[in-house]
Amino acid sequence: MAAAIPGPPVQRPLLMAQQHADQFTPRFLAYLPENLHVYDAFERETMRVVRRGFEHYSARTIIEVLRHNSALAEHGGPWKLNDWHTPYLARLFALLNPAFAGLFEFRITKAVGRGRAAAANDPSMEGGAAC
């Protein structure tokens, strides 16, 4: 069983992403601190899927549900649901919820390698890549 992540619950996703930074793009690592509400909503919706008994599901479907719900509930709110972040939200969920790690199918991502190479050449990404 994985060791507990210290810190307040809202910090758990940040700490886990930092501890496993090699699985995320620098852009996602920079996006996450300001968008924890998106991860929290993703996790809540994913747990609803798990409670319904699904053993496999689409992270993109969950994002589309969140996009739909936020469009109905808010006007110009804080939601930033970029499709490029979807696989990393799913990976973070699997890391934080190892009992349900098999819910999503993961592919090898080229973006992590490209993102690291781009960050090495882009001074504006310095804070995001050093996690």
Residues 20-41 have pLDDT tens digits of 999 999 999 999 999 999 999 9
pLDDT at 11 over 90: no
Say what the pTM is.
0.73
**80 vs 10: which has the higher pLDDT:** 80
Residue-wise pLDDT tens digits, 58-81: 999 999 999 888 876 765 555 667
**125 vs 113: which has the higher pLDDT:** 113
How far from 37 is each of 19, 79, 89, 102, 127, CA to CA, in Å?
20, 8, 12, 23, 21
Cβ neighbours of residue 36 closer than 8 Å, sequence gap 6 or more: 10, 13, 14
Which pLDDT score is estimated for 1?
46
